[in-house]
Structure 1
Amino acid sequence: MNQLTSKLYRIVVPKFIRKRILAKQLPVAILDYYDGRNEPPSVEIQQALNFLKKNPLAIFPYDFQNEYHAEDIEVFDDREKGMRYVLQDGKRLYFKKRWGKRKIRDLYNLLKKEQDIRSPHRYLTQEFRFEEGEVLVDVGAAEGNLALSVVEKASELILFEANKDWIAPLEATFEPWKDKVKIVQKFVSDVTNDTNTTLDDYLSLDDSSVFLKIDVEGAESRLLEGAKRILSAHSPLKVAVCTYHKQNDEKEFTKLLSTYGFRSSHSDGYMLFYFDKKIKAPYFRRGLIRAVKMNENKKSNQ
């Protein structure tokens, strides 16, 4: 399908029908692609292929995701704030105004899958932890589920979220910790202007240990370009950066971070990011990279 035909297809065919067509055609294309290869797939990819043979199209193509059910999630009303929330580890996590309970259940169910210990999108592991007293810089905070999970450990939290509709929910969620939480309504990129900032221009960090989480819907490479000072000069520094938005991000970001002295590893398993209209073989992508750079004194003491 050429560019013109593709554009006409999106105009003429309603979105809900396009989704149904994709849900049927993409698994067939993926299975045909791997059946036609001379070399056998890895164990992780074979598990994903086995999942596709038996289940509907899913962004996390592994059996664990079937353990989660949106209808099991309880949503509460805060009439005073005019928002709804769920309880995450006993703490209130608020969602956008006007969002109904069904939409909240569906999103939070996806978030729970996303942060399952078996998920390719899981930020934290037993080895890659958020430690007591660290500073969290959360770029692309959205509803703030990661920040809320570490808020009591953190010495400071800086949450970047450009979508204005998430600001009020974030303020409500982190109201009990407002003295150590800063919410910044800007895009984080490789330029600084009225609506954008670079990390290098915005952050003035001391010798604190920093945990940097990056999930910015495909703009990760521009953000990293605008963070050269932080990446090269600051330590100790941990970086969890999403790599599923574009096919080559995992390789490119791993190479880039290595030039700054980071030790990197990818998450286990693969994601099937079928929301990318440019998705093509080999289809599966790693969810994120976890990278660590320690200061020299800490290295010498190990």
Structure 2
Amino acid sequence: MRRVRILFYWLFFNKNNINFFELLKFLIKPKVDVIAKKFIKKIDSSDEYNKVTFLNLNRELYWPKKFSVSGIFQVTAETFDSNDWHYYQYDKTQVEKGEILLDIGTAEGLFPLVVLDKCSHIYMVEPSQYFYNSLNKSFEQNKEKTTIFNLAVGNKKDKVFFNEDSLDGQISNDSKASRSIDVETVDSLIGDNKITYLKADIEGFEYEMLQGAKETISKNKPKIAITTYHKQNNPDEIIALIKSFVPEYNYFIKGIHGEEPKPVMIHFWI
């Protein structure tokens, strides 16, 4: 049904830089677990984690057993399959040697794990305690070039309730079902440190994050790969905000979301 909706959106709403052949490839592609298994060597289970070994990666990913292995397949396809509309490294937003990555909404950390050797440093921001613990295990041998923050980011310093039970992780109003976490701005978190690449997928709070990243983006002019398909996202507002910081940014929208005809990603570069 999702693929039918996307075909309908492509025909009658927005093509979002998807040509006919890319659409056709999407409509007939295998299910996500089939794609992911092309890149996964094995998954070993222990008490707390599933340890994932990949065919072309010399380090393992630790996935909390709290969450279904179907999530492993999803992020593997998004990270390794260059035809996936959620793929971060579009032609103009490739991670290059010496990159300083700020990964907001790191989750399990597969993207930074894949690009680790290219980066001189990686900052990771992840509010989930489950993923924060697994990130520390996945990057245990690389502490000198990684910094992991267990908090959320927004447009002001704050405290919010965060629902730990969801794989996606959501801000919640229910204190009984959540724990209180700190919210910082990107500008206060990064300060005078340099970044050259900003990747963000934070479940609809991308705009608020960007509002708190004005100085960081204006000063560093990083490549940006940001998701725009969540219900709260307005892609036009995100484009306008980023270009108000740095008018010379080029941008490229990509993909069609299954729930409404929004782009999946927007890529920015100078």
Normalising by structure 2, report the TM-score: 0.76
Mean alpha-carbon deviation: is it higher for 122-131 or for 41-50? 41-50
TM alignment of 1:253-268, pairs within 5 A: 253-261=238-246, 262-268=248-254
**Which of 18, 41, 50 pairs up with 1:44?**
18
- Equivalent residue number for residue 215 of structure 1: 201
Alignment match of 1:132 (pick from 74, 97, 103): 97
Structure with greater strand share of residues: 2
Deviations 1:248-283 (A, max 9, x none): 6222211222222242322433221x3xxxxxxxx2
Opposite residue 197 of structure 1, the aligned amino acid is E
Query: Percent identity, aligned pairs only?
Result: 25
Counterpart selection for 1:90 from 35, 48, 58? 58
Alpha-carbon distance in structure 1 between the residues aligned to 2:261 and 2:76: 21
What TM-score, normalized by structure 1, do the two folds share?
A: 0.69
Give 1 or 2 for the bigger CA radius of gyration: 1
How do 1:55-134 and structure 2 match up within 5 A? Answer: 62-66=27-31, 68-69=33-34, 73=40, 74-78=42-46, 82-88=48-54, 89-99=57-67, 103-104=68-69, 106-115=70-79, 116-134=81-99
> How far apart, in 2, do the equivalents of 1:202 and 1:145 lie?
22
- Does the residue aligned with 1:158 lie in a helix, a strand or coil? strand
**RMSD of aligned residue pairs (Cα, Å):** 3.1
Partner of 2:217: 231
* SS of corresponding position for 2:237: helix
- Kept in 2, the 8 Å contact 1:64–1:118? The answer is no
1:174 aligns with 2:174: no
**Which residue of 2 is the match for residue 201 of structure 1?**
188
Structure 1 residue 98, shift from structure 2 partner: 4.2
Q: Distance in 2 between matches of 1:285 and 1:47?
A: 19
Secondary structure in 2 aligned to 1:108? helix
The 8 Å contact of residues 102 and 195 in structure 2, kept in 1 or not, is answered as: no
Distance 1:120 1:257, change over 3 A: same
Uncovered stretches (5+) of structure 1, i.e. residues with no partner: 1-22, 52-60, 275-282, 294-302
How far apart, CA to CA, are the structure 2 residues paired with 1:162 and 1:42?
31
Shift of 1:197: 0.4
Asked if structure 2 preserves the Cα contact closer than 8 Å seen for 1:121 and 1:267, the reply is: no
Instruction: Measure how far apart 1:228 and its partner are.
Output: 1.5
Query: Shift in Å at residue 231 of structure 1?
Result: 2.0
- Quote the offset at 1:223 in angstroms: 0.6
Is the contact between residue 9 and residue 15 of structure 2 (CA under 8 Å) also seen in structure 1? no
**43 and 154 in structure 1: CA distance in 2 versus 1, 3 angstrom threshold:** closer
Matched residues, number: 241
Is 1:251 matched up with 2:243? no
The secondary structure found in structure 1 opposite 2:118 is coil
Structure 2 vs 1, CA of residues 138 and 235 (structure 1 numbering), >3 Å: closer, same or farther?
same
Contact 2:76 2:110 in 1 (8 A): no
* Aligned AA (2:186): L
Provide the rounded CA distance (Å) in 1 between the counterparts of 2:14 and 2:266: 25
Summarize deviations over 1:60-112 as a string: whole Å, max 9, x none.
x5333547516674211356xx422112313111111445xxx22x2122123
Once the two structures are superposed, what CA deviation does each residue of 1:130-157 show, in whole Å capped at 9, x if it has no partner?
A: 1222211111000001110111121211
